[in-house]
Amino acid sequence: MTMLQDRPTDTKLISKVPDGALADKWDNFKANAKLVNPSNKRKFKVIVVGTGLAGASAAASLAELGYRVDAFTFHDSPRRAHSIAAQGGINAAKNYQGDGDSVSRLFSDTIKGGDFRSREGNVYRLAQVSVNIIDQMVAQGVPFAREYGGLLDNRSFGGAQVSRTFYARGQTGQQLLLGAYQQLSRQIGLGGVRLFNRCELVDIVVIDGRAAGIVTRDLLTGELTSHAAHAVVLATGGYGNAYYLSTNAMNCNVTAAWRAHQRGAYFANPCYTQIHPTCIPQADETQSKLTLMSESLRNDGRVWVPKNFDETRAAHEIPEQDRDYFLERLYPAYGNLAPRDISSRAAKRLVDKGLGVGPLKNGVYLDFADAIGRLGRNVVEERYGNLFEMYERIAGENPYDQPMRIYPATHYTMGGLWVDYELQTTIPGLYAAGEANFSDHGTNRLGASALMQGLADGYFVLPYTISNGLAPLLNKTVPGTDHPEFKRVETAAKARFQGYLDIKGTRSPDFFHRELGKLIWNYCGMERDRNGLEKALTEIPALYSEFKTDLRVTGTGEGVNQTLEKAGRVDDFFQLGTLMCKDALTREESAGGHFRVEYQTEEGEAVRDDENFCHVAAWEWTGDENNATRHEEQLSFESVQLATRSYK
Partner 1 sequence: MTRTVKNLTLKVWRQNGPDDKGHFETHVIDSITDEASFLEMLDVLNERLIDENKEAIVFDHDCREGICGTCSLMINGQAHGPQRATTTCQLHLRSFNDNDTIVIEPWRASAFPIIKDLMVDRAAFDRIVESGGFITSPTGGAPDANLIPVPKPVADAAMDAAACIGCGACVAACPNSAANLFVGAKITHLNLLPQGQAERYKRAEAMVDEMDEHFGSCTNHGECSAACPKEISLDVIALMNKDYRSAKFKNRKQLSRK
Residues with a catalytic annotation lie at 340
Using CB under 8 A, pick the residue from 18, 50, 55, 78 that binds partner 1. 78
- The interface region with partner 1, picked from 10-18, 22-30, 142-150, 607-615 by CB under 8 A, is 142-150
Least Å from the CB of residue 238 to partner 1: 14
| Residue 38 touching partner 1 (CB under 8 A) | no
Task: Give the separation between CA 267 and CA 416, rounded to whole angstroms.
Answer: 6
Using CB under 8 A, pick the residue from 398, 531, 562, 629 that binds partner 1. 562
- Build a one-symbol-per-residue string for 585-624: x at contacts with partner 1 by CB under 8 A, - elsewhere: ----------------------------------------
Residues within window 508-527 making contact with partner 1, judged by CB under 8 A: 508, 510-511
Q: Cβ atoms within 10 A of the Cβ of 97, count? A: 14
Cβ-contact 63, 69 below 8 angstroms: yes
Least Å from the CB of residue 444 to partner 1: 23
Instruction: Give the nearer residue to partner 1 in terms of CB position, either 393 or 476.
Output: 393
| Residue 181 touching partner 1 (CB under 8 A) | yes
| 439 residue type, one letter | S
Main-chain phi, psi angles of 629, to 5 degrees: -100, 135
Using CB under 8 A, pick the residue from 75, 119, 276, 298 that binds partner 1. 75
Using CB under 8 A, pick the residue from 307, 498, 555, 588 that binds partner 1. 555
Least Å from the CB of residue 625 to partner 1: 26
- The interface region with partner 1, picked from 19-27, 421-429, 455-463, 585-593 by CB under 8 A, is 455-463
How far is C-alpha 13 from the chain's CA centre?
22
| Residue 138 touching partner 1 (CB under 8 A) | yes
Q: Contacts by 195-199 with C-beta closer than 8 Å and gap 24+?
A: 195/71, 195/73, 195/78, 196/70, 196/71, 196/72, 196/73, 197/73, 197/75, 197/76, 197/77, 197/78, 198/73, 198/74, 198/75, 198/76, 199/72, 199/73, 199/74
Determine the size of the site formed for partner 1 (CB under 8 A): 85
| 90 residue type, one letter | I
| Residue 317 touching partner 1 (CB under 8 A) | no
| Residue 484 touching partner 1 (CB under 8 A) | no
Cβ-contact 115, 608 below 8 angstroms: yes
Task: Give the separation between CA 640 and CA 311, rounded to whole angstroms.
Answer: 48
- The interface region with partner 1, picked from 19-27, 155-163, 519-527, 551-559 by CB under 8 A, is 551-559
Using CB under 8 A, pick the residue from 25, 41, 45, 79 that binds partner 1. 79
Residues within window 242-261 making contact with partner 1, judged by CB under 8 A: 249-251
- Build a one-symbol-per-residue string for 370-409: x at contacts with partner 1 by CB under 8 A, - elsewhere: --------------------x--xx-x-------------
Nearest to 581 by CA among 566, 596, 568: 596
Instruction: Give the nearer residue to partner 1 in terms of CB position, either 85 or 369.
Output: 85
Residues within window 289-308 making contact with partner 1, judged by CB under 8 A: 289, 291-292
| 211 residue type, one letter | A
| Residue 467 touching partner 1 (CB under 8 A) | no
Return the beta strands (E) in 6-89 as ranges: 45-49, 68-72
Using CB under 8 A, pick the residue from 149, 319, 472, 484 that binds partner 1. 149
Task: Give the separation between CA 152 and CA 158, rounded to whole angstroms.
Answer: 20
Return the beta strands (E) in 208-315 as ranges: 210-218, 224-228, 231-234, 267-268, 273-279, 302-306
| Residue 61 touching partner 1 (CB under 8 A) | yes
Residues contacting 363, CB < 8 A, separation 6+: 281, 351, 356, 357, 405, 406, 407
Residues within window 160-179 making contact with partner 1, judged by CB under 8 A: 168-169, 171, 173-175, 178
| Residue 29 touching partner 1 (CB under 8 A) | no
